[in-house]
Amino acid sequence: MSYWVYVKPKEEPVRPAEFEGNVTYNVSTMLRRAGIHPAILNGLTVKEVRPVIEHAYMVMYDNADYFRRFEASNGWGTYETTFKFVTNLNTYLINDAPDDYVMWWS
């Protein structure tokens, strides 16, 4: 199982997302420790969520060894794959996402 993350216009729920990504549930602890709480961020605008994701990116970048402690024991969910997901999301939010787009987690 995994979290699917979509960033798209609020008014167009059927339109394909401008950003779409996924990350395994096995890294839930890692995400929460970085400050990413999917249930809390769900439905927020890019303007509201951008600083949260940017902060999570910086925390994960600066503390890789700490976050590796929360890798999934079954191998499905590593720091590297999670950091790549956060990096891609952060880059999109900073460079391309309009402030009024909405982030959805499912």
Residue range 58-88, pLDDT digits in tens:
999 999 999 999 999 998 999 999 999 999 9
pLDDT (0 to 100) of residue 40: 95
* Intra-chain end-to-end CA distance of the chain, in Å: 11
The pLDDT-based confidence of 10 (bands split at 50, 70, 90) is confident
Write down the domain spans for the chain: 2-105
What tokens does 105 get?
A: 């987690």
What tokens does 86 get?
A: 């956060």
Query: Taking the CB of residue 39, how many other CB atoms lie within 10 A of it?
Result: 7
Could you report the per-residue pLDDT of 20-43, keeping only the tens digit for each? 899 999 999 999 999 999 999 999
Task: Between 14 and 43, name the one with better pLDDT.
Answer: 43
What tokens does 23 get?
A: 């990350």
List strands edge to edge, sheet with 101-105.
19-24, 2-9, 101-105
3-state secondary structure of 18: coil
pLDDT (0 to 100) of residue 15: 62
